A and B are shown apart, each in its own frame.
Chain A
Amino acid sequence: MEQLKVDFDKVIESLKLSRESINFRKKNFNQFINNGFPNKRVEDWKFSDLNQIISSNIENLRFYTDLELGETDESTFIDKFAHNKIIFLNGIISKVDFSFEDDSKVLITNDLNQNETSKEVNPLVSLNNALVASYIRVTVKENYSLNKPLIIYNITTKKLKSTTINLKTDIVLEKNSSLKLINLCGDNSENNFINIVQNFDISQDAILKNYKIDHKKNSNIKYSYNNINLEKNSISENFIFSTGSKFMKNEINCNLNDKYSSAFINGIINLTNSQHHEIKTNINHLAENTKSYQLIKSVLNDNAKGIYQGKIYVDSKAQKTNGYQLSKALLLSENTEFDGKPELEIYADDVKCSHGATSGNLDEDAIFYLMSRGLSNQQSKELLINGFLLDAVEKITDIEIKDLIKKMIGIVE
């Protein structure tokens, strides 16, 4: 923690912030110092002891983001379709490109001088608030739909000296606007802790599609926290493709604040070796006629560990809520572990909520059937696994992005 204090002072010094902003960061810093990295005694972290994971994977924690950028690996960039870009390189924004859009309709701000008043209780968000060195806020103006998707690239290079990176983005969709967003990881550094915080404010009738892709195998430890606020009749569609990092926890807190808003969180966890990934969701139904839907499919090999903690909270005001969650896991070796913890907390009486979970191995008879047609054991298993994952992928409503993710998984058509 000594290093952390030294690095914090360096960050504050280098960023040239306002007095209020420095105070805000100090408060957050102290909040983190008081809690430290969450360990398994914290209820939300009982399946993923981050403190232990970080100390056993990262030797000397350093928090100061240097400005050495290094070369970007061109293969990280998506060339299948045209898109707008924001590129974070080693935690620093290196490119912002909205050339497909009307620039009076998409506002970009980078001002690091923030001092939000809300009391933060998540120590990792506090850590992020205290240390973040590069920030972007994208506001989509009323009635505007972006012509092309936006891809936020989170790229690290071998030149990275710090062992931790804090990224922060805020996305604001004004009334009746829409955005398709891909958050794509491109990891070339090793054994880093990457802490990503994203806030989404989705106004009335607006639509946000957010596809979170961590697909290339890497040794990094990641935490991604999304806070989503939905207003009347707005939609948030999320897809999590969780397969690359050594450790990854995707946490989504979603507030359905007003009538007819809906949230979809679908995802895939596909792991080998000793990878450990978690998806944790909190869906808060806070108004009438709100809807949430979650489908998570996990495939675990070797010694991998997968976790899905899905909580649906229904406020007493939120009559006619429709909440659904389903988790299915394929455990392909005896040494895998899958932990599922569904939670329903319901204070209204006229609601439809359900949850379900299954886990098991591949069907031997199905393997026999496919092999009897000449497919190898490996080919048969791959077909069955991809078949198992397909219905979650099919939930993606954007065809272009769905095809991209299918290709990344290896689903042929």
Chain B
Amino acid sequence: MLQIKDLKAKIDNKEILKGLNLEIKPGEVHAIMGPNGSGKSTLSNVLSGKKGYTVSGDVTYFNENLLELEIEERAHKGIFLAFQYPLEIPGVNTNIFLKTSLNAVKKANGEKELDAIEFLKLVKKKASELKFDENILSRQLNVGFSGGEKKKNEILQMSILNPKLSILDETDSGLDIDALKIVSDGVNASRSKESSFLIITHYQRLLEYIKPDFVHVLINGQIVKSGGSELALELENKGYESLS
């Protein structure tokens, strides 16, 4: 579903991604690990269409040139990024945001939009699956949410939008052990032949819950090593030093 060839990204004349190659097939779970500042979030941003980067290389998503699509078109076509640092949006009610988002995606795909009651039912169900206090959803989007609540809110959005490619940028950082378990269960439950995951993490622990098909090591803007889930354990023991 996703082929990345020789992807380079510059910002303010600083090269961050320096020729990155990666292929993700439907149903696969890929993990990316790598030191701070190696370009993991930059990769997620570029895949989601964030402006401000000078990008070169080829990224094909379901036989389309992904780099030519607008941010919201990528979302409509099933790309979802769970932000490392979800933004606080004052004055925007979380429930209204969720409904606007879901209906925007549905509309773009020619599906019937949900009315207020149908939406509320869906959100109730998804929130209770994630043990997410739904009272929080009547508050302003992420404003005053705890670190963990923000991360859970990202996963709630993911499970409502039901994307094809989910990129989780350090979703595990800041989650307590119970929450980590719940979020992992959520991801595992939505694993299917069609949906794929790109999971960015610093911790092998998450990968015990969500067993990846592949683990990649991103250092200095390039993938320097790929392997199976055992690679995560190896990194945990030896660190990145031996690879760079």
Chain A positions near chain B (C-beta within 8 angstroms): 363-366, 368-377, 379, 383-384, 386-391, 412-413
0/1 interface trace, chain B 171-211, chain A, CB 8 Å (1 if under): 00000000000000000000000000000000000000000
Inter-subunit contact B89/A369 (CB<8 Å): yes
Instruction: Give complex CA distance A386, B96 in Å.
Output: 12
Instruction: Give complex CA distance A355, B104 in Å.
Output: 40
Q: Is B49 an interface residue (CB 8 A)?
A: yes
Nearest CB on A from B70, distance (A)? 8
Q: Of A372, A390, A391, which is in contact with the most chain B CB atoms at under 10 Å from its CB?
A: A372
Residues of B within 8 A of A390 (CB): 90-91
Instruction: Give complex CA distance A376, B81 in Å.
Output: 16
Nearest CB on B from A358, distance (A)? 13
Instruction: Give complex CA distance A108, B51 in Å.
Output: 62
Q: Which of B56-89 contact A (CB under 8 A)?
A: 70-72, 74-76, 80-81, 83, 86-87, 89
Q: Is B101 an interface residue (CB 8 A)?
A: yes
Pick from B51, B89, B92, B104: contact of A374, CB under 8 Å? B104
Instruction: Give complex CA distance A390, B45 in Å.
Output: 30
Inter-subunit contact A374/B101 (CB<8 Å): yes
Residues of B within 8 A of A368 (CB): 45, 48, 50-51, 71
List 10 extra interface pairs beyond A371-B72, A376-B72, CB under 8 A.
Answer: A364-B51, A370-B89, A372-B71, A372-B72, A372-B74, A379-B100, A383-B92, A384-B92, A387-B90, A389-B91
Instruction: Give complex CA distance A363, B51 in Å.
Output: 13
Inter-subunit contact B157/A373 (CB<8 Å): yes
Instruction: Give complex CA distance A372, B78 in Å.
Output: 10
Which chain A residue lies CB-closest to B106?
A374
Q: Is B223 an interface residue (CB 8 A)?
A: no
Which chain B residue lies CB-closest to A387?
B91
0/1 interface trace, chain B 93-125, chain A, CB 8 Å (1 if under): 100110011101100100000000000000000
Inter-subunit contact B96/A412 (CB<8 Å): yes
Of all A-B residue pairs in the complex, the 3 with the closest CB atoms, nearest first, are: A387-B91, A390-B91, A373-B101
Inter-subunit contact B87/A384 (CB<8 Å): no
Inter-subunit contact B48/A391 (CB<8 Å): no
Q: Is B33 an interface residue (CB 8 A)?
A: no
Residues of B in contact (CB 8 Å), total 33
Nearest CB on A from B92, distance (A)? 4
Instruction: Give complex CA distance A391, B90 in Å.
Output: 9
Can you give 23 A-B contacts (C-beta < 8 A)? Answer: A364-B51, A364-B52, A365-B87, A366-B87, A368-B51, A369-B83, A369-B86, A369-B89, A370-B89, A371-B71, A372-B50, A372-B71, A372-B74, A372-B80, A373-B75, A373-B104, A374-B104, A375-B72, A379-B100, A384-B89, A390-B90, A391-B91, A412-B96
Instruction: Give complex CA distance A148, B90 in Å.
Output: 33
Inter-subunit contact A374/B105 (CB<8 Å): yes
Nearest CB on A from B154, distance (A)? 10
Nearest CB on A from B181, distance (A)? 26
Knowing A364-B51, A368-B71, A369-B83, say if A375 contacts B100 (CB, 8 Å): yes
Nearest CB on B from A233, distance (A)? 33
Instruction: Give complex CA distance A365, B50 in Å.
Output: 9
Nearest CB on A from B210, distance (A)? 22
Q: Is B7 an interface residue (CB 8 A)?
A: no
0/1 interface trace, chain B 223-240, chain A, CB 8 Å (1 if under): 000000000000000000
Residues of B within 8 A of A388 (CB): 90-91
Residues of A within 8 A of B74 (CB): 372
Inter-subunit contact B89/A366 (CB<8 Å): yes
Inter-subunit contact A383/B87 (CB<8 Å): no
Inter-subunit contact A374/B108 (CB<8 Å): yes
Q: Is B137 an interface residue (CB 8 A)?
A: no
Nearest CB on A from B215, distance (A)? 25
Which chain A residue lies CB-closest to B85?
A365
Inter-subunit contact B91/A386 (CB<8 Å): yes
Residues of B within 8 A of A377 (CB): 72
Q: Is B161 an interface residue (CB 8 A)?
A: yes
Instruction: Give complex CA distance A384, B88 in Å.
Output: 11
Instruction: Give complex CA distance A60, B216 in Å.
Output: 76
Residues of A within 8 A of B89 (CB): 366, 369-370, 383-384, 387
Which chain A residue lies CB-closest to B50?
A368
